[in-house]
Amino acid sequence: MFDPYEIRKDFPILERVINGRKLIYFDNAATTHKPLPVIEAIREFYIKYNANIHRGLHTLSQEASEKYEKAHETVAKFINAYSWDEIIFCSNTTDALNIVAYAWGLNNLREGDEVVLTVMDHHSSMLPWRNIAKFKKIKIKYVDITNDGYLKYSDFEKLITERTRVVAFPIMSNVLGTINDVKRIVKLAHEVGAIVVADGAQSVPHMPTNVRDLGIDFLAFSGHKMLGPTGIGVLWGKRELLEEMMPFKVGGDTIKDVTLDDVIWHDVPWRFEAGTPNIAGAIGLEAAIKYLQKIGLQNIRNHEKQLVEHTFKLFKEELGDEVTIYGPRNPNDRGGVISFNIKGLNHHIVGRALDSLFGIAVRTGMHCAHPLHYRLGLKGTVRASYYLYNTREEVEELVNALKFIVKQKENIEAIFKKDIEGIICPTG
């Protein structure tokens, strides 16, 4: 049975005391904590078989290479890829999405082609294509959202044309929590021969993912958002697309042979994993996936849905009109991300107060989604994001803290106003 209280025993950091209060960590959309099995897997690598991969016949190199390649297989099975060699390890979701834009986009897009994005996109999904547009003179189009935080599917129908070559979007919004109708978008894109690039940073860690069933062409996600270490990410792509792509980062391990006149590129995925990779990161990611599989992704999804329902109920009962929540109100249509604002208080002040007075970690700002906030008419939000180790009691502590902040608005603003003066947060 799923038991968050037992799960928490695997996360020593959750025992930390912050400003006199036991840590409540609600910043999981930014990064997640690491369970002991992940930490131990990384430790074991450095203690027992630390060596470079694919570069030696000695025992340590062979062991490291085997573990690294096995991690590709584990990731492939986790998302139901067709084959392990469709898995490319990179540094994070941003890196993965840039690989698609530069390795596929530069070689396949022509002047006059169109790329359809959404105002809901994380900057990492949006900006690579905007950069490519400068080189290739392509047109970028944007799908809008409804006032309650859903994508306007009628916009997809209008904007996707015979000129559309790429449709990119998040499976789940990192601000609104909206879970998008992937298959509906895929159908529209494939009808005109466009490829579909899905940002899975917020979805893959929280719900079952089956790339074959979804029908997408590329999927990007990060290890650190799913209990794994930082510095490791995944790009999955259909083999036929990967085979035709030219690597845009080249060097060690990307080639079969090089002469002064020619180069023969390595097979996929190695041609896209230039230089010494994050070997420990891949091993840690594999351990994280095994941990998640043991818990069950559907169990995690159900748990987060219950936390969202509990949050909505308490916000309505205890905070009323003092707090505005953004995004869909139906917990079935959203993940465990709650972005909100307190009436009359700057979002950064709320975040500082939650940390300083209650030991509650949330994120404040525009969450690397400036266009979405501008579309909502906002300069920022407070974001609480849940994961498998969060509990109903922690949600209740958050609500109690917000009630205190609401009652002490003037004092809270006076105390923390200086903390946010001149604050510079380029990523929002």
Q: What are the residue numbers of the active site?
A: 368
Instruction: Sort residue 248 into left (φ over 0), alpha (ψ -120 to 50) or beta.
Output: alpha
DSSP-derived 3-state class of residue 110: coil
> Rounded distance, CA 317 to CA 403, Å?
11
DSSP string, 112-141: T-EEEEETT--HHHHHHHHHHHHHH--EEE
**Dist CA 351 CA 55 (whole Å):** 48
Cα 363 from Cα 361, distance rounded (Å): 7
Beta strands in 35-113 (DSSP E): 87-90
Place of tokens 């690989």: 99
Q: Length of the chain in residues, anyone?
A: 428
- What gap in Å lies between CA 337 and CA 340, rounded to an integer? 10
| CA–CA separation, 27 and 386 (whole Å) | 7
Note whether 208 and 297 are within 8 A (CB). Answer: yes
User: Which residues touch 30 (CB under 8 Å, ≥6 apart)?
Assistant: 225, 363, 385
Q: Are 246 and 253 in contact (CB under 8 A)?
A: no
Instruction: Give the amino acid at 282.
Output: A
Is the separation of the CB atoms in 334 and 178 below 8 Å?
yes
